[in-house]
Amino acid sequence: AQSVAQPEDQVNVAEGNPLTVKCTYSVSGNPYLFWYVQYPNRGLQFLLKYITGDNLVKGSYGFEAEFNKSQTSFHLKKPSALVSDSALYFCAVRDYGTDKLIFGTGTRLQVFP
């Protein structure tokens, strides 16, 4: 069965500093990996995905993520954090050949001015 783990409940970072939000996954086949963001009192929005191709994926709002097959990780990164990046971030995985998209427990990112 597929699963995804976000080991950090909260990540705190100063504005202008780089940020990383961690995600590891477990699948039996090839993974389809996603990051979604939930801003306060707003719905969930797509940030980026990895399905195939380059291991470094670029997405919305300057975010990127690196697929690492050997470490089964898909960490979300941004070179310079903004206060407006403060939100709840979800990693998700779908095992190739299945239709279930499973989400992690979420990581709250707090960017301080």
For binding to other proteins (CB under 8 A), which residues are involved?
A: 6, 9, 32, 34, 36, 43-46, 49, 51-53, 90, 92, 94, 99-106
Angle at 32 between CA 39 and CA 12, to 5 degrees: 35
Q: Which of 15, 64 has the CB closer to other proteins?
A: 64
- What is the C-alpha separation between 101 and 32, in angstroms, rounded? 9
Q: Which of 97, 113 has the CB closer to other proteins?
A: 97
Q: Which of 53, 113 has the CB closer to other proteins?
A: 53
Backbone angles phi, psi at 46, to 5 degrees: -70, 135
